[in-house]
A and B are shown apart, each in its own frame.
Chain A
Amino acid sequence: AQTVTQSQPEMSVQEAETVTLSCTYDTSESDYYLFWYKQPPSRQMILVIRQEAYKQQNATENRFSVNFQKAAKSFSLKISDSQLGDAAMYFCAYRSAVGGATNKLIFGTGTLLAVQP
């Protein structure tokens, strides 16, 4: 079975600085998707960024980018120019893309990011 591990329960960053959140996963599959979700204090889950495993290029969305290392099964999230609104819980998630597989997302335990003014 696939698992997702986030080893940093809490992180802190100064406003305008850069922070990297770590995520590792375990799978025997070669085709899959990886995601980062943000959960602010409102508890609404928001998709931050998505990466297809077959793509070598790292995904970017404005100030958010990932470092996808397929061989190492690592999927870190970098937040540049951190803003107060980035303070939230961040979840890493995995979904199989194997034919016939369900759409189930498997989540890590989350990293709580604090942004200091």
Chain B
Amino acid sequence: DGGITQSPKYLFRKEGQNVTLSCEQNLNHDAMYWYRQDPGQGLRLIYYSQIVNDFQKGDIAEGYSVSREKKESFPLTVTSAQKNPTAFYLCASSILGVHGYTFGSGTRLTVV
């Protein structure tokens, strides 16, 4: 079945460490997105990519980095520069020019 897979489901990070969240899709979608979800703030866009080897900053890109070396994969690295990384992270994909997103099941990141 086609879909988006995010891993891990839960992730714990020590302060000062970088961590990478995985997002893989087999939908042949061109565009991929990372959102951060905090209580009371809805979903905020971190980074997005519309084609391989190209990506754009969203509204809250500071402290995050991404790569898009393959169409199927769009990993997100949360760096030590991100001051408050504890949140729920959602990855999504879409066909360019068409409608809504397909979402992954999310990763809950906690700083310990």
Interface on A for B, CB 8 Å cutoff? 6, 9, 33, 35, 37, 42-45, 47, 50, 91, 93, 95, 102-110
Interface pairs (21), CB distance under 8 Å:
A9-B40, A43-B105, A45-B90, A45-B92, A91-B42, A93-B100, A95-B99, A102-B31, A102-B56, A103-B31, A103-B48, A104-B33, A104-B48, A105-B43, A105-B45, A105-B101, A106-B45, A107-B35, A107-B42, A107-B43, A109-B41
Query: CA–CA, A33 to B94, complex, Å?
Result: 14
B100 contact set on A, CB distance < 8 A? 33, 35, 37, 47, 50, 93, 95, 105
By beta carbon, the residue of chain A nearest B56 is: A102
A106 to nearest B CB, angstroms? 8
Query: CA–CA, A107 to B58, complex, Å?
Result: 13
B88 contact set on A, CB distance < 8 A? 43
Interface size on B, residues (CB 8 A): 25
Query: CA–CA, A102 to B106, complex, Å?
Result: 23
Query: CA–CA, A43 to B95, complex, Å?
Result: 23
**What 1/0 flags go to B85-112 for Cβ under 8 Å of A?**
0001010101011011101011000000
